[in-house]
Structures are given as C-alpha cells and as structure tokens.
Amino acid sequence: MDEKLRRTQRLQISLEFQQVFDKGKCFRSPALRVHYRRSGRELSRLGLVVSRRVGNATVRTRVKRLLREVFRREKSRLPEPMDVVLVPQGAPRGHAEYLAAFVEFTGRLRVPVPARS
C-alpha cells in the first residue's frame, strides 16, 4: 500500500477548493470540518485551510503537518477517490483528536445514515 502524499494528491488551485466548497458536502466535528466531493480521478486529493485564528505561523505549520499525516495514513479508508478539504476548528489539537475526527468521517461515508421521518 502506497502511503506517500504526492503533489498530484493535493488541491493547489483556488478553483479546485471552491468547487469542493460549493458542490461538495460537509462533515463537522469539534476538532475538524471536512468538506468533500467525488473527484472522478483515480486518487484522492487533499486541501488544507488553516486560518490565522489557529495560531502563529509555527502553530499553523504544525497543524498542517498533523493533518497531512492523518490524511496520508487514512486515505485508504475512503470508499472512493475524493477531493477532501480539512479545516481545523478552534484551538490547535493533538494528532489523536484529528485522527479520531477523520476516522469518524470515513466511517460515516461507509455507513448510510437512516432517513428521519
């Protein structure tokens, strides 16, 4: 299994981000907001949005590194190739919290939620 995160597996153009935000769906947890959309490609791609509210440049860089690591390790859980944009929520968190939020997200994709009546 290939766990590398190559350049072709990253969203880099603002139009790609905008398409995920506009035409995709959103999953929310206390630690992470996940915007996602079917990509129609053979590989899933990752985009990161880490605002200045998270902290100074050093803190933001660390959060981005943690989020890339979570995606790199857990992208095989996605049921199909998707474009995924991760947006951390609130104060910076540890690797375990981001991992738990991403695993919960992938679990929701696999199990259909029953419709409310």
| Look-up of token digits 């998270």 | 54
Q: Does residue 40 surpass a pLDDT of 80?
A: yes
Instruction: Tell me if 41 is assigned to some domain.
Output: yes
Instruction: Tell me if 53 is assigned to some domain.
Output: yes
Spatial CA neighbour of 80 closest among 37, 20, 30: 37
For β-strands 45-48 and 32-38, DSSP reports them as: unpaired
Instruction: Tell me if 37 is assigned to some domain.
Output: yes
Q: What backbone phi and psi angles, to 5 degrees, belong to 50?
A: -125, 110
Residue 59 structural domain = 25-108
pLDDT digits (tens, 9 = 90+) for 48-95: 999 999 999 999 999 999 999 999 999 989 999 999 999 999 899 999
* Total domains in the fold of the chain: 1
DSSP string, 47-85: EE---GGG-SHHHHHHHHHHHHHHHHHHGGGSSS-EEEE
Tokens (6 digits) for 17: 């981000």
Instruction: Tell me if 95 is assigned to some domain.
Output: yes
